[in-house]
Structure 1
Amino acid sequence: MASRPLRVAASATSTLALVAAGIVASATGAQAAPEDVNTDLCVGTPVWTGDLTAGQAVRGLTTTRGVTPEAFTGTYVDRLDNGAGRGKDILLFQMEGSRITKTDKDGNVNVDAGIWAGMSGSPVYDQDDNLIGAVAYGFSYGPSVIAGVTPAKDILSIEGTPAAAPAARKVTISASAGKRIAATTRTTSDDASVPKTLPHLTVPRVSVGTPASAANSFTKKSRQLKKKYGSALPKFVPGATTTELDPATAIVPGGNIAAAWSRGDVTFASVGTITAICGTKVFAFGHPDNFDGDKATGTFHAASAALIQEDSADSSFKMANIDTTPLGQITQDRLSGILGVLGKLPQETTVTTNTTLAGRSTQAVSHVSAAQALPTAVASQVYNDILDGLDAYVNGGEAIASWTIDYTPRGGKRATFTRTQRISYDSFLAEQMPFDVASDVEFLQTASDQKITINSVTIDNELKPDYNALRIAKVEYRKSTKVGKKTVNTWVTVKSGKKVSAKRGRTLPVRATLRPASPDSVAKPLVTRLDLKVNKWAVGTGVAAISGGQSYFPLNEGSDEEFTIVMDEEDEEEYYFESDSPAATLPEVLAALKAQPRNDRLIGEQYYTNSNGTSKVSGTKVSTPAVTRGSFFLNLSYKK
């Protein structure tokens, strides 16, 4: 039977939290010696720094409903030396009370929700009210009353931590502690077995205002988040609505706290528990959130617990309402917890979307403090706007969008980049529409050799409920033939790949017939000219590519599509970028962004070789009244 590994209890990002916790019940507490209590780490909160004895009684505080903490009790089980990393021990406790356990009508105490996600940071005290530590670890499978506690001295020292020691991948649990843990773990899938190791778990994230499935989809497209988290990419769970709370009653030891990437119409946050308040400093979680060290930039907020959702097969979790008014900034995100400073606020990027549909206008605003989450927040807000505007998910539609990115390069002047695009799909417009603007934001953030700070992103979006797209149905070229003294011009239909003669230094007349892309499209058929100018130095053979703007770059329909501008490296007007390519200059990045074609264009390009053997590209484009799709190729034979 597989063992149940102990997991790092999550500080749920956004509204749900994964946390491991534990406190102790009953038994006799050891008499505190003066040298075992530190009163300097947190003024007003004495901290226990001595040893603990097996069975020693403790009490703790956590919040299961609203903002008022409630008590739980526990007893000390064992210590895992270096359990969280080099010099970072984990204290094991058996907990009781609150929603951890419940008592039946016969007086028997049984596991209820066990140690739940969102309990991370719950303070644990000895019988003399000395702070021992914070709940921070729990089991991956099944409700359990055993929790791992991060010592208070480690939590309260994170501000002076130069660098976090690497956490051990697996920590050995003693046989006696393993048996005690197994005896207190309840699952419905199998019998409890003795755990031997304590692997860390990924902290779950919660999304408020955006469906978790959509937030997860956009997160998977972000190269920044993939680079930061690798295989442990944050996964959002559904979040609850926001509310207004009084910080004086909500920000207390044992109370809820939300550490946020973004706030407003799109809120991404981790919900856990406050361990201690030392003046303007708020300590929480007992384990990392994003593990950003002193580079943490998130805001923190008050939160109200809605309920503890029991899960008999996995860990139970807390659902909470988040007050989107920021109370301060997370300034430290370390192995032993997070630290927020009241009244201090980080630089944020304001995301504003203005959406109109049939004369109805709406506006949404979010503030993003974590730069790596900006593309995901932008995509999520646009997604929400389309769902709200169309009031439909599977439906297609059309959007004419214009966005302005206000940015500042390090050491440079503030500037803006603006682009307009027509976007139309026959289904799931909400999923497709956000890609363009999110791609531009992430590309500008990451592709340059200069650090770019995005100050704001403003998106004006005109929605229509109809699919409006054309496709290339036929291509013709005009052939001139001498009949006596007259020249007769005839339009000749050609198939893609057909060889056509082209006179150097002249114009090859071409026209395309465009028809509705599908029976659902409201676009009207049309015929448009797209004449190709032939360079007078072109020799041998070449290729003419005629494409609709939406087909100019291949669209990867799978979930692996990323928020990145990828261009043809053979096109001398564009810059080819991949994540492992050398960084480009800012002018190259801006040129690449500006070179992206509009979807409502018909584009003609020639690829040829001149007389000195140099490969060249020339092109032309015309506007169309709808998104245009399809590609067509002509093989050109150059003649005098």
Structure 2
Amino acid sequence: MKFRLLVGIIATIGLATTAIAGTLFDPTRHMRVDEVRPGMTGYGLSVFSGTKIEKFDVVVVSVLRNYNPRRHVVLIRCSGQNLEHSGAVAGMSGSPLFLRDEQGKDRMIGAFAYGWELAKDPIAGVQPIEYMLELDGKPAQAAGARAQARSPRQSWNVLTATAGAWKGNPPDRQRDAAGLVPLAAPLMVAGISAPALERLKPLLDASGLTLFRGGGGGEDDAVDPPIEPGSVIIAPLLTGDAAAYANGTCTEVIGDRVFAFGHPFNNEGQISLPMASGAVNAIVSSLQSSFKIATIGKTKGTFDTDEVVGIAGRFGEPPAQAPIDIRVTHASGAQTAFRFSAVRHPRFLPMLGAIAVYAAITGQSDLPQYHTIEYKLSLTFDNGRVVHIHNVDSNVDPMQLVLSLASPIMAAAENPFERVLLKEMSGEVTIKSESRDAQILAAQLP
């Protein structure tokens, strides 16, 4: 009887060990939210300058139950690294937090993820690591896959779809000053002038991206720190002669899996975005929302999951991107070749194509007050089809120009019957400092 009882206990322990081993949660390294008590102390890891990972101190204030459906958030007070002055910093999203348990061991509780706008105290919310490790990382659906079956009587008007695509008010994660909200992943833009950014802001807003006007360091191949808990982690959207990218912090690395942010980027589920390392140029303290200015490092893998509790990816080959090559002949007669690479994301790609063309046109100077612009562009899509655009405009609003160029990309990407993404774009733009136009003064019918 004793032997059978012992065998039963061993079998039970073996099953429990197998269950734990079947998940990424390691109770010797990770802490569950049910273990958290007010007053517990610990530290967080993040980069405040360059690539050096540094500690800051934290103390637990309380646990907010059911902040998200069936999900809790740990409320902490921070100190050190000038956080008493800056408060929660956009770009710290994902910074791993460790708490000391009853045995005196420091274990990871989760990721720095939430804050209050206009807050006077350095209080932040933590996304528990036990939720983040549930991100499954299924591969994203192929870009050319057909959309879900639609009613045969349902219609889709391409003109209506593209005309209203840049309109609307996407939710602003930092808008509610009275509520605890996910920290924005700062979208840094480099290689584009401040006036051009101002004109492009409605385009970025319509894509659900929060622009931080601090500039950015662009790409730097010399920046090659490892992606590890506390390091800078970046999602490059546009690279080359202009750059657009979101930066945050890596929370955990387990094998080839990487977990970051502690909140969604766009909450799209399965995604396919490049994953890169990076460095911090500076931290800008602001009453509205402090943020990090960062530089893109080397691409090291792919983000494949974007959900409420965070984003996740894998080390390895990055996803294919769309090359954009534009040659501009300026009003001065000088010629400049611009090269970009854009992520092949259905919602971002039209916007990124527009930014690239706008950056090329205004790369040397704004358009003359009176001007004529001729553009010849070739857009190649995944299905092998090529759209040729050849037009001449005078005294045109550059924003209207880039929107008209983005419309074919959007129409193909938003096609509900079969999504087709842009594979590459190339062309020439010629700018003249004179207005070549004509008016029809009269028309006579026989």
Normalising TM by the smaller chain, what interval? Answer: 0.7 to 0.9
Q: Give 1:438-587 correspondences, 5 Å limit.
A: 438-447=406-415, 449-472=417-440, 474-477=441-444, 508=446
Deviations 1:329-380 (A, max 9, x none): 1101111111121113223222221222325232322232322112211221
**In structure 1, C-alpha distance between the alignment counterparts of 2:55 and 2:225, rounded to whole Å:** 16
* C-alpha distance in 2 between matches for 1:44 and 1:401: 60
CA spacing shift, 1:159–1:143, aligned 2, 3 Å: farther
Q: Which residue is 2:75 aligned to?
A: 92
Number of equivalent positions:
383
| 1:370-381 equivalence runs, <5 A | 370-381=345-356
**1:420 aligns to 2:397 (yes or no):** no
For residues 284 and 113 of structure 1, the distance between their equivalents in structure 2, rounded to whole angstroms, comes to 22
* Match runs of 1:253-268 below 5 Å: 253-268=229-244
- Secondary structure, in 3 states, of the residue corresponding to 1:433? helix
Shift of 1:299: 1.0
Task: Note closer, same or farther for the CA distance 1:247–1:338 as it changes in structure 2 (3 Å cut).
Answer: farther
Q: Could you say if the C-alpha distance between residues 367 and 463 of structure 1 is closer, same or farther in structure 2, counting changes exceeding 3 Å?
A: same
Q: How does 1:225-374 map to 2 (within 5 A)?
A: 226=206, 233-238=208-213, 239-244=215-220, 249-294=225-270, 296-311=271-286, 313-323=287-297, 325-357=298-330, 358-374=333-349
Residues 41 and 283 of structure 1: is their aligned pair in 2 closer, same or farther, counting only changes over 3 Å?
same
Find the residue that maps to 1:364 and give its secondary structure.
strand
Q: TM-score, normalised by structure 1?
A: 0.55
Contact residue 350 and residue 365 of structure 1 kept, 8 A: yes
The aligned amino acid for 2:242 is: V
Could you tell me how far apart the structure 2 residues matched to 1:281 and 1:113 are? 31
Name which one, 1 or 2, has greater alpha-carbon Rg: 1
- 2:124 and 2:312 map into 1 onto residues whose CA distance is 22
Q: Secondary structure, in 3 states, of the residue corresponding to 2:121?
A: coil
Q: Post-superposition shift, 1:432?
A: 4.3
Q: 1:339 to 1:94 in 2, by over 3 A?
A: same
Equivalent-residue separation in structure 2 for 1:466 and 1:434 (angstroms): 20
Q: Does 1:79 align with 2:63?
A: yes
Q: Take 1:248 and 1:367, find their aligned partners in 2: how far apart are those partners?
A: 21
Structure 2: stretches of 5+ with no match in the other structure: 1-15, 140-176
Identity of matched residues, %: 24
Cα distance in 2 for residues equivalent to 1:464 and 1:368: 32
Q: Secondary structure at the match of 1:450?
A: coil
Q: Larger RCO: Structure 1 or Structure 2 (Cα < 8 Å, ≥ 6 residues apart)?
A: 2
Q: CA deviation at 1:245?
A: 5.1
Note the aligned Cα RMSD (angstroms).
Answer: 3.0
Aligned partner of 1:387 in structure 2 is 362
Find the partner of 2:30 among 47, 55, 70.
47
AA partner of residue 263 (structure 1):
T
SS in structure 2 of the partner of residue 130 of structure 1: strand
What is the rounded CA distance, in whole Å, between the counterparts of 1:293 and 1:78 in structure 2? Answer: 30
> What does residue 70 of structure 1 align with?
54
How many Å separate the matches in 2 of 1:244 and 1:261?
A: 15
- Cα distance in 1, alignment partners of residues 282 and 99 from structure 2: 27
Of 133, 136, 142, which residue of structure 1 is paired with 2:119? Answer: 142
Which letter does structure 1 place at the counterpart of 2:260? Answer: A
- 3-state SS in 1 of match to 2:269: coil
After superposition, the Cα gap between the structure-2 partners of 1:397 and 1:42, relative to the gap in structure 1 and judged at 3 Å, is farther
Deviation of 1:418 (Å): 0.9
- Name the TM-score, length of structure 2 as normaliser: 0.77
Question: In the alignment, is the contact (CA less than 8 A) between 1:43 and 1:278 conserved in 2?
Answer: no
Distance 1:457 1:45 in 2: 51
Shift in CA distance, 385/396, structure 1 to aligned 2, threshold 3 Å: farther
Equivalent residue for 1:206, pick from 172, 188, 200? 188
Trace 1:620-639 onto structure 2 (pairs within 5 A).
none
Alpha-carbon shift at residue 119 of structure 1 (Å): 0.9
Amino acid at match of 1:392: D
